[in-house]
Amino acid sequence: MKHSRTMILALAAVGGAGLGGAGHAGEAETPGYWYHAGQAAVARLASRRPGQGRAKNVILFVGDGMGISTVTAARILEGQLRGESGEENVLSFETLPYTALAKTYNTNQQTPDSAGTMTAMMTGVKTKAGVIGVDQTVARGDCASSRGKELVTFLEQAEMAGKATGVVTTARLTHATPAATYAHTPERNWEDDHDLTAEARANGCKDIARQLIEFPHGDGIEVALGGGRRSFWPRDLADPEDPGKTGERDDGRNLAEEWVQRYEQAAFVWNKDQFDAVDPRRVRHLLGLFDRSHMEYEADREYDTGGEPSLAEMTGKAIDILAQNREGYFLMVEAGRIDHGHHAGNAYRALTDTIELAEAVKTALAKVDREETLIIVTADHSHVFTIAGYPTRGNPILGLVAGNDSRGEPTGEPARAADGLPYTTLGYANGRGFAMLERGGDTRYGEPIATGRLVDLSGFDTGDEGFHQEALVPLGAETHAAEDVAVYAGGPGAWLMRGVLEQNVIYHVMARAAGIAGRWDRDEGRWRARD
């Protein structure tokens, strides 16, 4: 999905003019329009009736780092890319009927990480930052302390119940969020055996990639799509896209090959042509590793030498395979690189990956029976990403702030800060700060730190994919934030998503809706399937 910066810049010239109902089916935005639109919204809300049926299928979408400001900015950008002012746009998942806020803190951190937050969503139990699928009593990085402290994940329970399961991500499959669906480890960075410490080896901890392949429950995970080939391949196996690099496994195992040998009707693919050729009616276990590390940002996908499927395409294929199971399925879909775009201070890539998540949700909504499928869209945490200033309606969300005059009409000129310099609507409270990077530059970390008001941005294309927004506090990378994140839900059990919830409640909503009931063994301090 290559976006037109020319179109975005052109919007700056029009400012707030020409809005005549853009995004409202041509209806003029008169006072009467707003009144009747509000009336209609209340009528729709009043007509909702909680669905009491059971969810045969559950799909959990996670926008990694997709805080509320990210959703707002992506909503506006998506609308502007269609030639609209943007503010009135609605992302696909914002049409889901129920919403809540989730508190994201870890048991040991005010501002969380993905390992602890995703473990909460997958097990119903909050835990520490940096640990996956184990409880808060373990010491991070200490294998011995984690033995017997494993938590059972919703994906594992779905397999025990006879359902099909799948994990889709644009990050490495061994990264924290996808790993929390199937793995148990006191250290999120133990992605392959090369990462294990001597203590971990001595006490029998398994690396995350190995846990995916050796998954012990049901008939195994049916679909696993994402990046991270290096953790599945041995050191003597060259990467097909970059022959100068090899796998990272020290044990000599080719886990991708083992996947194919382990299951009947199994396939391994590493590029888009192979992916497209997969027939969902004939393949029951699909492993796709489309990059040595993380998959490309959506904005860069067309430049990948091997070719990568989009998040929406992976979601559609996964549903087609999982739907072959008559008992239903659980699918987790992560837009993992929203987080990486923000860490880099690069709003363009973070927002275009958010828009692609909305495309994936749209794909799912078109494929499933909404009467029997619970769909939840949320984030593991947010970022210190801000939308500020007083830009006029329709001002390019990636552009410089251009406000209104004393009569409330657009000035058409960039606003100036107290130091006399123009400034962008989007910014970061911390990070590496302003940078303009050519394609092929280090998108994640950018140029040397340049925080504060150091550059006159008048001559820069702030809508360029290589523009990294200004930041206030100088850090090696922008950080997560601690505020609540939104939860959007539709389907059986979705009505339970109301109010302000602890993040671990998301698991309990899924478990109740799907009828996957177990019990908490107080003596052993763990979840057990009912006898």
What amino acid positions are annotated as catalytic residues? 114
Helix (H, G, I), strand (E, B) or coil at 251: coil
What is the dihedral sign for C-alpha 234, 236, 240, 245? positive
Backbone angles phi, psi at 210, to 5 degrees: -65, -40
| DSSP category for residue 125 | -
Q: How far is CA 308 from CA 44, 218, 288, 301, in A?
A: 40, 30, 10, 6
* Own/partner pairs, 274-283, CB within 8 angstroms, 24+ separation: 275/309, 275/313, 275/314, 275/317, 276/309, 278/317, 280/317, 280/320, 280/321, 280/324, 281/324, 283/321
Please, how many CA atoms are within 13 Å of residue 173, restricted to the half-sphere of its CB? Answer: 32
Q: Which amino acid does the sequence have at 38? A: G
Question: Residue 182, Cα to own-chain centre: how many angstroms?
Answer: 17
Q: Given the DSSP bridges, would you call strands 285-289 and 471-474 parallel, antiparallel or unpaired?
A: unpaired
Closest to 187 in 3D by CA, of 132, 255, 263: 132
CB atoms within 10 A of CB 335: 31
